[in-house]
Homo-oligomer: A and B are copies of this chain.
Amino acid sequence: MSNLYDEANGLEKALRESTEYKELVALYEQVNADESAKNMFDNFRDIQLKLQQKQMAGQEITQEEVDHAQKSVALVQQHETIARLMEAEQRMSMIIAELNKIIMKPLEELYGAVE
């Protein structure tokens, strides 16, 4: 068991020291330091979150809500720093997914596909 936690801590450290994580932190701080960028990004996140929650609750999403969400995506994508932050977040999500895939191999082998 202790070896498991040592290994997990090693991976945590490697993630923290990765270029991709450092870039993500730098961009996140840059957006947060700029009040108008921060507001734009927070608003975008709110809209996304509310849509996700409705979807998960099985509630219907109106065309108006879809349009509103698409407009907020288009808006943040025009902001250079936010666009770069979102790209960095996407790269980080992909890394996390790949790491999880590696770590979960023993369980996937056992169960076929892990839910």
Contacts and interface: CB of A to CB of B under 8 A. Distances in A.
A42 B57 CA distance: 28
A6 to B, nearest CB: 8
Interface residues on A, range: 35 or more
A104 B15 CA distance: 9
As for how many copies of this chain the complex holds, the number is: 2
A contact face: mostly helix, strand, loop, or mixed: helix
A50 to B, nearest CB: 13
Interface string A81-115: 00000000000100110110011111100100001
A70 to B, nearest CB: 21
A110 B24 CA distance: 9
Interface in A1-32: 1, 3-21, 24-25, 28
A110 B25 contact: yes
A106 B21 contact: yes
Contacts of A8: 11, 98-99, 102-103
Interface of A: 1, 3-21, 24-25, 28, 49, 56-59, 92, 95-96, 98-99, 102-107, 110, 115
